[in-house]
Every structure is written in C-alpha cells, then in structure tokens.
Structure 1
Amino acid sequence: MSIDMDDFIDFVRNNLGESAWVPLYKKLNKEDRSEDGSLYSCLISPEDTSDAMEKYGWDLSRGEGGPSIVTCGDKHDYEQSTTAVLPLAIYRSFHGTRE
C-alpha cells in the first residue's frame, strides 16, 4: 500500500502513541520515490531529549546504534554501541553472507 507524505505526517501527529501498540519502524513507501520518510523508535536520556526534539534531522537511522566490529588492517575492535541514542530494535545485515 502506498501512502503519501501528508498521510504519513498525519499519522505521526494524530495517531502515533494513541493505541496499545507503538510501531518501532514505519516507512513511507511511495512507489515513484517522489516522497521518502520513516519513523524509527529509540531511547534517549532525559537530559538529551530537549536538544533532540529541537533538531530537524536524524538522531538515529535503521541499522545504526547497535554493536559493531570495526576492522582496520589486522586490528579488530568491538563497539557496544555506536551512538548515545539507543535503538529499541536492532536491524542487522550480513551483507549477503546469510539469509
């Protein structure tokens, strides 16, 4: 089902948080790609909330914020989180190595 940006914004303004279930991820999927948007839920510390709400942009995108293994030459490092904003669900990608 294709929705437009007006429907997506209306959902966020008027319906989000009004039912028993809250979507962790919702994407605007316009077939002709003329409009693009998404909702990706996360946790943020109370002291960072005001700053995050004032910004126009992404604090976290799908696939960010989870643990990561960083390889540089022969050196391998493990990062528990790549951001202070914590995703409620972690999107994982195996880059084609697994289904």
Structure 2
Amino acid sequence: MALLDRLKRIWSSEYNEGRYLPQKQNTEKKEGQTLQEKQTNAASLTPREHDLFLLLLEGYTLKECAKQLSVKYSTANTHMTGIYKKLGVNSRAELIIHYRDIKDTVP
C-alpha cells in the first residue's frame, strides 16, 4: 500500500503543478476585444480571405466554401490558414465564437 500512496502523492503534486494538464490557450485578448478591434482585424484580411471569412462565419464547411468561391480546396485551406493567423484563432469554432458578432457589421 505504501507504493500506491506514494504514486498517488506524486501524481497529485505533478497534476496540480500543471505538468499533465493541457496548456490553457491565451484567449483573454480575443475575449476582451471590442467590436471595433474585431472589425479592424477583419479589415486586415485580403479580399479573398474576407470572402472565405464570411462564409466560415455562416457555418459552411471548407469544401462548400471552396465550391462557392470557385477555388480548389487547397486554395481555400491556404486562405483559411491566413485568416487564422491574422485573427489569432486556432480553429473554426474559435473563429465563430470570437467573430460571430461582427458578421452583420462587416461589408
């Protein structure tokens, strides 16, 4: 039993120190952004990225977006990567969560 207790103690201390916890993403910046800041970020997108951005916010899949924009899937994927970098997001879900409120305000 002593070994089990020691393992529990080690696991508990390492777990609490964050060694086995997933790294928390820094979303404070995005969550605290004003509507104007989000619009400024969206304005940094190229025209094609902007078109894709709006389609992604509508919930279209990347394949559907590529078809609507008359581009190859790989081209749409490249544009999506640029969007993620410029807006500081890591997934489509994060994009929608942080930028859905500007969907109707962006021309």
Q: TM-score range by the shorter chain?
A: under 0.3
Relative to its length, the structure with more helix (as a share) is 2
Normalization by structure 2: what TM-score?
Answer: 0.21
Q: Name the larger-Rg structure.
A: 2
Relative to its length, the structure with more strand (as a share) is 1
Q: Bigger relative contact order, structure 1 or 2, given CA contacts below 8 A and separation 6+?
A: 2
Normalization by structure 1: what TM-score?
Answer: 0.21
